[in-house]
Amino acid sequence: MNTHRISAYLMLLAVSVIWGIAGPVIKFTLGSFPPLIFLAYRFAVSSVIATVVLGTTKVKLPKHPNDVLGIFLYSVFSVTIALGLLFFGFEKTTSLVGTVIAATGPLVTVAVGALLLRERVTPVERWGITIATIGTILTIAAPVFTDGAMPSGTVLGNLLVIASVFVDAISVYLAKLLVRGRTPPAALTHISFLIGFLTIAPLVLASHTPQDIVQTIVRAPPWAHAGVWFMAIVSGTVAYTLRNRAVKTIEISEAAVFTYLQPLWAAPLSLMWLGETITAPFVAGAIIIAMGVALSEWKQGWKHGRIRL
């Protein structure tokens, strides 16, 4: 195995840990910041970093009209819409359920590729996606069967999270096309957060007065600010740059296994830090999802001469 692939795998492992931790951090920080203010604050921090980096380094900014349009679309899908849906979803659901649903992203990406790009999906992969979809539906609907054991509005939160997964799947393909063309991964990351801030700011101002925004930020405890800065710097700038660099080297399908690891990092924090509970329907849904993922990935492992589980 060459060093480029090893580096890509290590980068994706780091992203998996970061985004696994991010679920509980988002849930915890939403206790102090409404979703839109949280997002605007996060994007503002990332935008300052982006401005400094782009202004002091020799990162080449794309100038071709097709690249500019592609970057704008990627930014809106990946940052404004996908993260917006994710944050509103996590406000209503538990971090553990949200992370498990979000971990189905690679299978959704395969499905989106088949639908939009006519990519080939093997019969076994179809079965894997179908089984995982059944598990996802059960996980989303789990609150219906728990007799109030989960917060009201959890089903809506779960639906918002799965919607964010579908939107992000589109952005993954856009990112792959861009970074394999003329767009440096670092430039794509930094520009996307600048565009994210510019597109989310009007929504924040339409739903909150400037005075409310300032008071919310000023009155928030230090740990809430720490959560925002973690999401902006570590889960944002660092993780997105690593992911964009990794997908330039390896196939999207190869990166899937690292996404499936995210619930492993999220579970201890969700249970011990946030005090969340695990319900029987959730466990059943998670097991069915795992079966679908295993079926799909096991077949791909044989196809490429190795088992990637």
Residue keyed to tokens 């997964």: 165
The rounded Cα 242 to chain-centroid distance in angstroms is 13
pLDDT digits (tens, 9 = 90+) for 232-276: 999 988 998 888 788 777 766 666 667 878 888 888 899 899 998
Least confident range from 119-123, 158-162, 280-284: namely: 119-123
- Cα dihedral: 284, 107, 121, 7 (round 10): -130
- Residue 307 has what pLDDT? 32
Burial 78-98 (b: 16+ CB within 10 A, else e): bbbbbbbbbbbbbbbbbbbbb
Higher pLDDT, 46 or 301: 46
pLDDT digits (tens, 9 = 90+) for 272-291: 999 988 777 778 888 888 88
- Residue 114 has what pLDDT? 74
Angle of CA points 111, 116, 122, to nearest 5°: 40
Q: Judge if pTM exceeds 0.85.
A: no
pLDDT digits (tens, 9 = 90+) for 17-45: 999 999 999 999 999 999 999 999 999 99
- Residue 252 has what pLDDT? 65
- Residue 70 has what pLDDT? 92
Q: Is the pLDDT of residue 203 over 70?
A: yes
Give the DSSP per-residue string, 101-160.
Answer: HHTTHHHHHHHHHHHHS-----HHHHHHHHHHHHHHHHHHHGGGGTTTSS-TTHHHHHHH
Q: Are 189 and 71 in contact (CB under 8 A)?
A: no
Q: What's the mean per-residue pLDDT of the chain?
A: 84
Higher pLDDT, 155 or 257: 155
Distance CA 253, CA 269 (A): 28
Q: Can you tell me the mean pLDDT for 284-300?
A: 74
pLDDT digits (tens, 9 = 90+) for 59-115: 777 788 888 999 999 999 999 999 999 999 999 988 988 888 888 887 787 777 777
- Residue 276 has what pLDDT? 86
User: Backbone phi, then psi, for 104, in 5-degree steps?
Assistant: -80, 0
Q: Is the pLDDT of residue 13 over 60?
A: yes
Residues in the chain: 309
